[in-house]
Structure 1
Amino acid sequence: MQDFIYYNASGLDFPISEQILVTNNIEELKDKSFLISNSKEINCELSAQEIDFYIKNTQDSLSDKIKNVLKLYEIAATKYDFAQDISYSSEVSKELLLITSKSEDYELFISKIKSDDFELFSINEEIIKSISGHIGNLQVIVDDEGEDVTLNVSQIVWFDAKQMGLDQSGTFDPNLSSVDDVIQTLKENINSYSYKKFTTYDKSICQYDGRREVICSKCEEVCPTVAITKDDKTKTLTFSQIDCHGCGGCISVCPSGALEYAPMNRESIYEVSKFYKETHPLIIPEKMNITNLESFLKEGVLPLAIEGEKFLDESSFLTLLQMSGSQIIFYSDFLSKGSKDAIRIVNDIYQKKYSKDAILVAMNEDELKTALEEVSFVENSYFNFNQDTLKKREIFSHRLQKLIGEDNLGIVKTGEHVHYGKVIVNESTCTLCLVCVGSCNVGALIADAKDNTLRLNPSLCTSCGYCEISCPEKDCLTIQRDIIELQPSWFKDSVLAQDTLFACVECGKEFATTKAIEKIAAMMGPIFSVDPVKERSLYCCADCKPKIMMQSYFDKKNQGENNAR
């Protein structure tokens, strides 16, 4: 299979790389398939419309233009190679439910279809009680004269649809497009409905899964459908890929990086970013139609097409910023909660370090024009390192540490949806029980056995608060929330508490911290004071404690027998 093809009926007025097959005759390609094409008319794995957008609008020199066209094909191929968005299909029958309260809407829809197109049912929206399931398997519970009746259908057409219908896949509102468009979509779905896996999930670092209390469920909160649901009793998340729109909003608010965007994960972002060294990246989500967009791309601007518009977080932004050495333009008419927070945080950091914004957001064509005029390189900002296997927070920490260097740039406040923080421990009340370490699944809190210390790397802390609610000591552990300190110490392990080890009074083996033993002795000492052996057992290890207790028992027994004689 030929990898790259460029198709244009009018041909090209400049040469491009020999690695790209160029044709103006689509007929000769009917039986051929390709990896990357500039056109959806070609049978290919991935069509990259940003190629024509670049060719039409760039002001690059001819030599750079030739190099960059090939680079755009290679970028698309890299995204394809690293994508984990597996395709699935689901059977969809002809059973269709039409929901409307207006007779004219009903008549209009009926007039557009044939009798054998669908097995049609029609109801008034006033009797609907609930809708569940997904396309191909929808359950609609209606009130039939006081009794609940379940209608099982494959798809729903609902004029002026309420949110309960739009939450599930398989509900279509003609008023959001047109009756003709909806009917075409319904027919295309029958017998072969395809969908993709848009998210991957690592529950080992999820800050909701398995926790005793709910401290995070951001992904479920921002999901616009029922693709993510939670069970607060079992503390588990459920993912329905068929209901997922692929927007990626859950990815940008996930504090630990437990969720990744399957079409373009962290590894993919890193590999793609390598192509943008010494260029100005222009991020363009798929929903932003650029087919007819005419925009002056000054020299050095190279588009980066992405599928979803909401998955980019502070780690992915900083990766692309440092790998390009330039400001970024983000052309999108909508910013997700997570991406918006991330952009503001990174921009605040860049303002403190470089006195300029990192990310120039353009929400319309006028703003895009302004951003393209303003975008510039950021002197001494390029940085590359091998970030394979690192988690989201670790990548951001390492990159931010390089950016800060030895400077002290003050504090940046984090936001409503993206949190950082700093754990503070009252050493006088901390017994180094290490419950907090066990509760931290991002590695911010660690125990160092070499010097018996509790340590914190604040740059990894998500400010989730699970260590705070897990700590058994009173007035011991608190969190200073929503800050990033832009100074070298923020990235280093700092000692929160330290203690000596206590040696067993019987065998001399060190078995606990001195503070822990003193605390237990203070609590139990008055109770055990009537028995010197029990009182001594408070200072014994687990091996010696039963020994001295049993020895005391036998000594007393023998003494009793001797007295009886």
Structure 2
Amino acid sequence: MKTLLCNCNRTMPLDGQALSRALGSDEATVHTTLCRREAPAFQHAARSGDDLLVACTQESRLFLELNDATEGAAPVTERPIRFVNIRETGGWSKDAAAATPKIAALLAAAQLPDPEPVPTVSYRSVGRCLVIGPAEAAEGAADLLADKLDVTLLVEGRGGGLPQRRERAVHAGRLLRLTGWLGAFEATWESGNPIDLDLCTRCNACIEACPEGAIDFSYQIDLEACRSHRDCVRVCEAAGAIDFQREAQTVTEAFDLVLDLGAQARFTMHQPPQGYFHVGGDSSKLLQAVVQLRELIGEFEKPKFFQYKQKLCAHSRNEKVGCDACIEVCSARAIESQAATTGGIRVEPHLCVGCGACTTVCPSGALGYAYPNTVDQGRRLRTLLSTYAKAGGAAQAPAALLIHSEKSGARVIEDLGRAARTDAAIRGVPARVLPVAAWHTASIGLDLWLAAIAYGASDVWVLLTQEEAPEYHEALAQQAAVANAILEGLGYGGERVRLLRARDARDLAALDAELHRPARAAVRQAAGFATQSDKRSTLELAIDHLVAHAASVPEAIALPAAGTPFGAVRVDTERCTLCLSCVGACPESALADNPERPQLRFIEKNCVQCGLCEATCPEQAITLQPRLWLADGGKARKLPRVLHEVEPYRCVRCGKPFGTLKAVEVMIGKLAGHAAFQGAALERLRMCGDCRVVDIYTNPNEVRITDL
């Protein structure tokens, strides 16, 4: 890949020779005005046929246009051009002279291959648009859309007026239900007003006839003002549009798009479905919505952001609910429980907005982020940190990662970089801070944070803006608390995973101060493992490395209960009957029986603290213990250990072991009063299955226990 550097009219101190050494390439030429006087150098590179990386995002549009205008240059559809921002992210900071290792790391990460393609989700819209709101406002919005879309009005309430000319379908009523997404909305409303707008000719005779003035030009009757003169019915006799005896009608229709002018949004989640626009009475929002709605005709695609493996899901077993973290965190309400039917969860891909919060809070890895996946994300983090160290950055100061979103987060960082050029009090993004753009900050969680620390990052900071839903703030805070508890317990100390908040330029000074916190020592030896597609495997690799290089390793680290994917199961042996219901409920094979004897065994490494065993236990003998058990350097948690065992109960007839004494005693105690278990029949409960059958048929005078 050919990399083109520009110092932006000598405003950045770029060292082409040092950057080339760090990237292992020929010495790069540092241009001064690549987008202006030295544009022929870009054209020459474009004609070479090599993949191009341009270290400038400021003029990306110009370079794309220049590529199209260059004879002999491959179109971007055949040879994409990549862009990376080194100016605001470091070249313009107050310590830009020391930023060569960081810039080398950013260039190396930008040169990585594109992530593997993922399946897509399709939408199809033919332009059927429902506008909901007061008559006059709805008509005004419809006029802005009608030349492009097939508009239907649902007028709510009285007031305002409808035009005399009937140009579109108009309904009046109260919206009862609105579901769906772009191309597949379903609206249900109830129409209870005496005037049927389908039959109304808008002749205005009823308005003139009503002595109370209870009818206005929205052609709806104010039933509180009406005094039942029914003059309106008489003058409307020919059209028959007014009927006070008509029962309320419920209507359901399908639409592709919805424009909501009501005061309260019909979808209350933080991320409403695509194709739905709530503007209330805000004229600027209305204009933005109209511009977008007019373009929403045709077929559209987006990535399917997630992968789901039901066999790993710890949500439910046998209609008992355990972990529901993904359902609680989803700001688009795209995830629903299937506990009562197929088990597990269901994710509606058309509602999913790709935030990745569900994958971050999922303790088992049943939900995985796919755009990009954790293998690609981990490769990028390792490339950033290893290149930074190779270029001499680790000798200056350990690197810190700054994870931010590609939209609002990137804008805040760019604002900070530009402010460093004009504001003496702002220092800009430090040379040791490596920005990491993500589709959404909530998509990177505990597994990748700990992997980054193992790769040599001293800190992992997550930049949150107004873009993130409140649910994401809470979930990330819980995950950060778990990460910091582990790192603190291993002696790494301090709040190494930290959430930073910045809404806009008003918060730049505070963000600048946060980013210039003193550097802390990184792990003694950077890890070389690759992150895995399985979340638990990545966590184990990262923890093993951190344990191996920790100054001291305790036997156990207590973890916060909220959000932890690690822990033990405690069994009250006085209550436990070894019925092994918990074994059948455990989705992760953390709990197991022993075919040879009555025994409950446990592999702590597999436990995700979902609570299904606790919810299933009929004797309420199980409690959860959030912790990271590190006895024997962490090896003990990977081996099965016995939580409870007893001597087997032996059949009173043949002596064969079956069950346990406590289980048999509990069963006899519960069934002793039942009519089917009287006399000798009760003794059969002390027999193994084979002997019960023999006893039933050799003693025909006794009651048959056919369900044993």
Shorter-chain TM range is: 0.7 to 0.9
Stretches of structure 1 that go unaligned for 5 or more consecutive residues are 557-565
Equivalent in the alignment of 2:260: 158
Deviation per CA, 1:45-90: give whole Å up to 9, x if none.
6955545543534636576356324312135x3xx32464x33432
DSSP-derived class of the 1:310 partner? helix
Q: In structure 1, which of residues 240, 243, 259 is the aligned counterpart of residue 348 of structure 2?
A: 240
**Aligned equivalent of 1:268:** 376
Unpaired runs of 5+ residues, structure 2, are: 65-75, 158-173, 193-247, 390-398, 418-426, 503-507, 703-708
Residue of structure 2 aligned with 1:186, choices 259, 276, 293: 293
Does structure 2 conserve the Cα–Cα contact (< 8 Å) formed by 1:283 and 1:330?
Answer: yes
Tell me the number of residue pairs that the alignment of Structure 1 and Structure 2 aligns: 542
Name which of 138, 163, 169 aligns with 2:274: 169
- Check the 8 A contact 2:88/2:414 in 1, yes or no: yes
The 10-residue stretch of structure 1 (286-295 or 508-517) with the greater mean CA deviation from structure 2: 508-517
For the pair 1:371 / 2:514, whether they are aligned, the reply is yes
Which residue is 1:282 aligned to?
Answer: 402
Q: Helix, strand or coil for the counterpart of 2:449?
A: helix
Aligned to 1:140: 187
Which of 128-137 and 378-387 deviates more?
378-387
Q: Which range is displaced more, 54-63 or 239-248?
A: 54-63
The answer to whether the aligner puts 1:122 opposite 2:153 as a matched pair is: yes
CA RMSD of the aligned region, Å? 4.3
Task: Mark the CA change 1:518 to 1:95 in structure 2 (over 3 Å): closer, same or farther.
Answer: closer
Instruction: Report the more deviating stretch, 419-428 or 29-38.
Output: 29-38
Question: How has the CA–CA distance of structure 1 residues 186 and 428 changed in structure 2, closer, same or farther, with 3 Å as cutoff?
Answer: same
Conserved in 1, the CA contact under 8 Å of 2:323 and 2:611? no
Q: 1:54 aligns to what?
A: 89
Q: CA-to-partner distance for each residue in 1:138-195, whole Å, 9 max, x for gaps?
A: 2222222321223432112223563424633211234496344323322332213232
Report the CA distance between 1:466 and its aligned residue.
Answer: 1.7
Q: Is the 8 A contact 2:375 2:533 kept in 1?
A: no
Where does residue 627 of structure 2 map in the other structure? Answer: 484
1:332 aligns with 2:453: no
Which of the numbers 602, 609, 615 marks the counterpart of 1:469? 615
Q: Tell me the distance in 2 between the aligned counterparts of 1:243 and 1:456.
A: 38
Residue number among 104, 124, 127 corresponding to 1:94 in the alignment: 127
Distance 2:497 2:518 in 1: 9
The answer as to whether partners of 1:296 and 1:369 remain within 8 angstroms in 2 is yes
How many angstroms apart in 1 are the aligned matches of 2:578 and 2:340? 30
Matched, 1:216 2:335: no
Aligned ranges for residues 410-449 of structure 1 at < 5 Å?
A: 412-418=558-564, 421-448=567-594
Structure 1 position 487, deviation (Å)? 4.8
Report what 1:562 is aligned to: none
Deviation digits for residues 235-288 of structure 1, max 9, x if unmatched? 453322222222222223323222112213333333233222443222121131
Is the 2:566–2:608 Cα contact (8 Å) retained in structure 1?
A: yes
Distance of 1:217 and 1:124 partners within structure 2: 39
**AA partner of residue 219 (structure 1):** C
Match of 1:225 in 2: 332
Quote the residue 1:561 is aligned against: none
Asked whether 1:498 is paired with 2:655, we answer no
- Aligned residue in 2 for 1:64: 101
Determine if contact 2:319/2:340 at 8 Å carries over to the other structure: no
Tell me what 1:559 maps to: none
Specify the code of the residue in structure 2 equivalent to 1:159: L
TM-score computed with the length of structure 2 as normaliser: 0.65
Quote the Cα distance in structure 2 between the aligned partners of 1:315 and 1:69. Answer: 22
2 CA distance for matches of 1:291 and 1:49? 12
Judge conservation of contact 1:507–1:544 (CA < 8 Å) in 2: yes
Match of 1:344 in 2: 481
Determine the C-alpha separation between the residues in 1 that align with 2:623 and 2:305: 34
Aligned 8 A contact 1:537 1:548 in 2: no
Query: By how many angstroms is 1:318 displaced?
Result: 1.3
1:141–1:151 contact (8 Å) kept in structure 2: yes
- Cα displacement string for residues 480-522 of structure 1 (whole angstroms, at most 9, x for unaligned residues): 45x3256527862442112345677888866655665676688
Mark the CA change 1:170 to 1:522 in structure 2 (over 3 Å): closer, same or farther: closer
Q: Measure the CA separation in 2 of the matches of 1:291 and 1:34.
A: 26
For 2:370 and 2:355, locate their aligned partners in 1 and report how far apart those are by CA, in whole Å: 11
What secondary structure does 1:336 align onto? helix
Give the percent of matched residue pairs that are identical in Structure 1 and Structure 2: 21
Mapped to 2, the partners of 1:354 and 1:5 lie a distance apart of 38
Q: Which moved further from structure 2: 339-348 or 11-20?
A: 11-20
CA distance in 2, matches of 1:176, 1:261: 37
- CA positional deviation for 1:428: 4.1
CA distance 1:322–1:508, change in 2 (3 Å): same
CA distance in 2, matches of 1:495, 1:54: 54
Q: Is the 8 A contact 2:317 2:612 kept in 1?
A: no
Residue 357 in structure 1 maps to residue 357 in structure 2:
no
Question: Aligned equivalents of 2:495 and 2:308: distance in 1?
Answer: 32
- Counterpart contact for 1:134–1:169, Cα < 8 Å: yes
C-alpha deviation, 1:105, in angstroms: 7.4
Separation in structure 1 between the aligned mates of residue 528 and residue 652 of structure 2, nearest angstrom: 52
User: Which amino acid counterpart does residue 202 of structure 1 have in structure 2?
Assistant: K
Map residues 524-543 of structure 1 onto 2, 5 A cutoff. 538-540=686-688, 542=689
- Distance in 1, Cα, partners of 2:9 & 2:594: 66
Q: Which moved more, 1:442-451 or 1:365-374?
A: 442-451
Distance change (3 Å), C-alpha of 1:274 and 1:94: same
Q: Secondary structure at the match of 2:321?
A: coil
Distance 1:343 1:132, change over 3 A: same
Distance 2:679 2:405 in 1: 76
The offset of 1:118, in angstroms, is: 2.0
SS at match of 1:178: helix
Question: Is 1:81 equivalent to 2:218 in the alignment?
Answer: no
Supply the AA of the counterpart residue of 1:70. L
Deviates more, 1:54-63 or 1:301-310: 54-63
Give how far 1:479 is off.
0.9
The AA in structure 2 aligned to 1:141 is: T
Structure 1 CA distance, aligned partners of 2:415 and 2:533?
40
Following TM superposition, by how much is the alpha carbon of 1:129 offset from its aligned partner in structure 2, in angstroms? 1.8
What is the rounded CA distance, in whole Å, between the counterparts of 2:283 and 2:582 in structure 1?
Answer: 50
Kept after mapping to 1: 8 A contact 2:583/2:613: yes
CA distance in 2, matches of 1:52, 1:451: 68
| C-alpha distance in structure 1 between counterparts of 2:604 and 2:132, whole Å | 53
**Contact between 1:229 and 1:239, CA under 8 Å: does it hold in 2?**
yes
Letter in 2 for 1:252: T
For 2:283 and 2:458, locate their aligned partners in 1 and report how far apart those are by CA, in whole Å. 39
In structure 2, distance between residues paired with 1:360 and 1:484: 21
Query: Structure 2: how far apart are the matches of 1:524 and 1:231?
Result: 34
Q: For residue 401 of structure 2, what is the amino acid of its counterpart?
A: P
Structure 1, 120-129 or 502-511: larger mean CA deviation: 502-511
CA distance in 2, matches of 1:512, 1:239: 41
Match of 1:303 in 2: 435
Residues 502 and 512 in structure 1, CA contact (< 8 A), matched pair in contact too: yes
Deviation at 1:310, TM superposition (A): 1.6
Deviation at 1:197, TM superposition (A): 0.9
The alignment's TM-score, normalised by the length of structure 1, stands at 0.79
CA contact (8 A) 1:444 1:456 kept: yes
Name whichever of 433-442 and 120-129 sits farther off. 120-129
Alignment deviations for residues 440-471 of structure 1 (CA, whole Å, 9 cap, x no partner): 11233233557764233445433332212322
